[in-house]
Amino acid sequence: MINNATPQETRPAVVLLHSSMSSRSQWSELMKQQESDFRFIAVDLLGYGKSPFPDHVEGAAFSLAHEADAVSAALAAHLDAGEPFHLIGHSYGGATALRLARQMQERVLSLALFEPVAFHLLAKDDAARIEIETVVAAILAAGSEQDATRIFIDYWNRAGAFDALAPEQQARFTAQIAKVKLDFQALLGEPASLSDMAALDMPALLLHGQHAPASTRRVAEQLAAALPNANLAQTKGGHMAPITHAAAVNPLLAGFLAGTAVLSD
């Protein structure tokens, strides 16, 4: 078989999964900085960016399996059959990355996660899980979609963050709250446990912001302990640091990719 690949096509593939209420464009700066060394595939998760809202499966709740299957289908257009790749995820994209890594473990070269919202990994009586379940309950009980969005935005940023946004930004985020509710359904309904994470033995990096909420900081710490080949590091910023503090987060991701790319050669 003749190999017609150009040098650009032989760069290691890196799959990027974004947070809720975001899109693949959140990774544009990282992609621009590292495009000479890696071939990035940034995917819009269901209901965000240019990806369609998920179809409901009759008789079944929306799940991380549905999300991961959609990512897998999208990757088929960019990767050769069986081609390995590095995997990076932030927040909901991080939880989706965990599910994808379990489904495609033989192809995932490394796993870098910034505050994956894999709340299903926390014990039912963990204060951090109780905290986020209280937030989810408030979102579901909110009197309007805008009120629900305010609760969501303020939890991940700061009190008053939603009201400080321009009206057009408020409207854009409010239009996405229906998918956010499905995201939480998928996250809290995922059957995987911390013991299942022991099978993911690829090099892994867990990151959290210094101002992270207790819920995601706890997930990052427990995951770093459960994954057999993981390191844990703290960055500037809070939960949205890959966007708000990209200058601090991107060098850590790039350094991790460079190190694992050498190991996989």
Q: Kindly state the tokens that stand for 84.
A: 């390995």
State the Cα–Cα distance between residues 205 and 60, nearest whole angstrom: 33
State the Cα–Cα distance between residues 226 and 263, nearest whole angstrom: 22
Mean pLDDT along residues 108-137: 97
State the Cα–Cα distance between residues 248 and 237, nearest whole angstrom: 9
Name the phi and psi angles at 131, rounded to 5: -60, -50
pLDDT at 58 over 60: no
Q: In the 8-state DSSP scheme, what is residue 13?
A: E
pLDDT at 82 over 80: yes
Q: Give the 3-state secondary structure of residue 85.
A: strand
* Cβ 200 vs Cβ 194: under 8 Å: no
Q: Give the 3-state secondary structure of residue 63.
A: coil
**Strand residues in 50-147 grouped as ranges (E):** 85-90, 108-114
What does the mean pLDDT of the chain come to? 93
Tens digits of per-residue pLDDT, 150-196?
999 999 999 999 999 999 999 999 999 999 999 999 999 999 999 99
Q: If residue 64 lies in a helix (H) or strand (E), which one and from where to where?
A: helix 64-75
Mean pLDDT along residues 113-120: 98
State the Cα–Cα distance between residues 67 and 63, nearest whole angstrom: 7
Helix-strand-coil percent breakdown of the chain, rounded to 5?
50, 15, 35
State the Cα–Cα distance between residues 136 and 127, nearest whole angstrom: 14
Q: Which of 26, 29, 69 is nearest to 46 (CA)?
A: 69
Tens digits of per-residue pLDDT, 201-258?
999 999 999 999 999 999 999 999 999 999 999 999 999 999 999 999 999 999 999 9
- Report, in angstroms and rounded to the nearest whole number, the Rg of the chain calculated over CA atoms: 18
State the Cα–Cα distance between residues 125 and 129, nearest whole angstrom: 7
The predicted structure's pLDDT at residue 7: 42
Give this prediction's pTM: 0.94
Tens digits of per-residue pLDDT, 134-163?
999 999 999 999 999 999 999 999 999 999
Reading across the β-sheet that carries 204-209, which strands appear in turn?
39-43, 13-17, 85-90, 108-114, 204-209, 230-235
Percentage above 90 pLDDT, the chain: 91
User: What is the separation of C-alpha 238 from the centre of its chain, rounded to a whole number of angstroms?
Assistant: 15
State the Cα–Cα distance between residues 30 and 40, nearest whole angstrom: 9
pLDDT at 262 over 90: no
Which residues face 233 on adjacent strands? 207
State the Cα–Cα distance between residues 232 and 263, nearest whole angstrom: 19
pLDDT at 50 over 50: yes
